[in-house]
């Protein structure tokens, strides 16, 4: 009986070995397909560190594969199954349901990825694997774990949440090694943490991780206080640790290219940036709870302000904010206006009001336009007085986009880089300053 499995097999470790061993036990002949760099890129796999030849050799040297082949294109699995007369397709259970369509060609079996593998084994066997602990078990944390599997060299190994039932369910769903009973226990087990808790708790959780010598990737906003943000970055630098704000748009290829085109002078000198991000949220959710730092500014302003700082800079001279506020004091819609020496900007946010979520950059020679959802930049265009000069740009934005920030975080740790041009420390501090000012000094409307 022939079995086939597929994977990148970058930084081959004990988890890979056990997966192949269990796949081999399903039959008497195991075919292992190793993905090419081009195919990994096409499917959104990031930070693959070893060459195809090195990965092929490692799989062969494991002694678990009867035959090793190369996966080069979308749809190849169906072709391989028929070509090699495969009876069973085996894959890690983190892909559960993804390959059910192959049941039309053979039996599909999903295997637990690292079941029975101890933390010590993984630490000893998986050189170069960054073990991350998730702090929080909400919606974004679930997406984070799902996206992490597209980044080579990282492993979300544990989770901690204040509610035992929530963290246990989270660990079970994602097949994590551990479900920590305390935050300290989580810190003792990992090299880095991803913080996805309510906004007001970010600073204290980040500080404890840094003091314990752990790298930190923290959901936006890093802090609701500019002073706190400065203190946290200073602490991280003093300990030689990476502290990065998880503002996914900053790390997306399309957004970076858009900024480069706008700043290149192709539309002339930038005089105005107007960015909008709104979504309709159930009033019963965290976003409307003042005790959890709710409000459209704290929830969404990081995105349009990111566009402002990348396109104009951080040397604003004045800021004015107007907001529609609920009876509980939560801003459901806000407009933050900033004046710069040579430009003006407007950032609009909403959690109870819906507006067109586009980004418009006005220049002295033309404009740059990014349609909604511009924070997931896949397409933008430059427009001119003479429409014949208009130009369109297209880019990939894979999945939820969290893989880009995870990849950057891992690369910074690996390369011992404490800062990145994609989102510099002083830019995160500026975001915290502006958000703090906007939340505390807005003019109520209505």
Q: What is the token pair recorded at 220?
A: 């936006």
Spell out the residues 6+ positions from residue 213 whose beta carbon is closer than 8 angstroms to its own.
Answer: 239, 241
Specify whether 50 is located in the same domain as 126. no
Regarding whether 146 and 202 lie in a shared domain, the answer is yes
Same domain? 17 vs 100: yes
Domain stop point among 57, 87, 111: 111
Domain extent at residue 8? 2-111
Phi, psi values for residue 76, rounded to 5°: -65, -30
* pLDDT tens for each residue of 138-147: 999 999 999 9
- Last residue of one domain, picked from the residues 55, 83, 111: 111
- Whether residues 175 and 255 share a domain: the answer is no
DSSP-based three-state secondary structure for 241:
coil
Whole-number pLDDT of residue 202: 97
CATH number at residue 303: 3.30.360.10
Domain identity same for 168 and 289 = no
- The C-alpha angle with vertex 70 and arms to 68 and 74, in degrees rounded to 5, equals 140
**Do 191 and 222 belong together in one domain?**
yes
Residues of the chain with pLDDT below 50 are: 115-126
User: Does 254 lie in the same domain as 240?
Assistant: no
Alpha carbon of 216 to those of 137, 158, 230, 276, 352: distances in Å?
Answer: 17, 14, 15, 29, 31
Q: What gap in Å lies between CA 61 and CA 55, rounded to an integer?
A: 10
Conformation bin of residue 60: beta by default, left when phi > 0, alpha when psi is -120 to 50: alpha
Split into its structural domains, the chain has a count of 3
Residues 80 and 27 in one domain: yes
Q: Are residues 63 and 166 both part of a single domain? A: no
d(CA 42, CA 59): 22
Angle between helices 302-311 and 425-440 in degrees, nearest 10: 130
239 and 273 together in one domain: no
Q: Give the model confidence (pLDDT) of 162-221 as tens digits.
A: 999 999 999 999 989 889 999 999 999 999 999 999 999 999 999 999 999 999 999 999
Domain closes at, from 78, 111, 144: 111
Q: What is the pTM of this model?
A: 0.84
262 shares a domain with 219 = no
């Amino acid at each position: 009986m022939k079995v086939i499995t597929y994977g990148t097999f970058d930084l081959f470790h004990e988890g890979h070995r056990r997966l192949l061993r269990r796949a081999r036990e399903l039959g008497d002949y195991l075919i292992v397909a190793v993905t090419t760099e081009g195919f990994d890129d096409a499917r959104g796999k990031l930070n693959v560190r070893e060459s195809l030849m090195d990965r092929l050799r490692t799989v062969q040297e494991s002694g678990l594969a009867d035959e090793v082949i190369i996966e080069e294109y979308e749809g190849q699995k169906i072709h391989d199954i028929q070509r090699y007369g495969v009876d069973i397709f085996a894959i890690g259970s983190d892909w559960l349901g993804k390959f059910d369509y192959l049941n039309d060609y053979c039996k599909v079996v999903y295997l637990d990825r690292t079941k029975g593998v101890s933390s010590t084994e993984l630490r000893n066997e998986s050189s170069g694997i960054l073990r991350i602990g998730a702090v929080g078990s909400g919606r974004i944390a679930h997406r984070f774990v799902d996206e992490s599997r597209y980044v080579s060299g990282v492993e979300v190994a544990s989770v901690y949440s204040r509610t035992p039932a929530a963290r246990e369910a989270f660990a079970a769903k994602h097949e994590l090694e551990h479900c920590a009973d305390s935050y300290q226990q989580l810190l003792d087990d990992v090299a880095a943490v991803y913080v996805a808790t309510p906004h007001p708790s970010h600073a204290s959780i980040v500080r404890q991780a840094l003091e314990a010598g752990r790298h930190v990737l923290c959901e936006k906003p890093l802090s609701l206080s500019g002073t706190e943000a400065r203190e946290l970055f200073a602490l991280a630098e003093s300990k030689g640790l990476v502290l990065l704000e998880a503002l996914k748009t900053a790390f997306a290829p399309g957004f970076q290219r858009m900024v480069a085109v706008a700043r290149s002078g192709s539309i002339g000198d930038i005089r105005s940036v107007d960015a909008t991000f709104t979504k309709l949220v159930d009033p019963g959710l965290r976003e409307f709870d003042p005790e959890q730092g709710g409000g459209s500014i704290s929830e969404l302003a990081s995105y349009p302000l990111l566009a402002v700082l990348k396109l104009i800079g951080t040397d604003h001279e004045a800021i004015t904010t107007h907001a529609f506020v609920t009876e509980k004091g939560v801003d459901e819609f806000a407009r933050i206006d900033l004046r710069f020496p040579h430009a003006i900007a407007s950032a609009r946010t909403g959690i109870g009001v819906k507006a067109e979520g586009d980004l418009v950059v006005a220049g002295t020679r033309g404009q740059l336009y990014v349609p909604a959802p511009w924070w997931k930049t896949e397409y933008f265009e430059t427009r001119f007085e003479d429409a014949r000069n208009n130009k369109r740009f297209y880019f990939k934005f894979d999945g939820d986009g969290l893989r880009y920030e995870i990849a950057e975080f891992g690369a910074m740790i690996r390369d011992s880089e404490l800062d990145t041009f994609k989102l510099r420390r002083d830019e995160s501090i500026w975001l915290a300053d502006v958000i703090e000012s906007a939340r505390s000094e807005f003019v109520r409307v209505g």
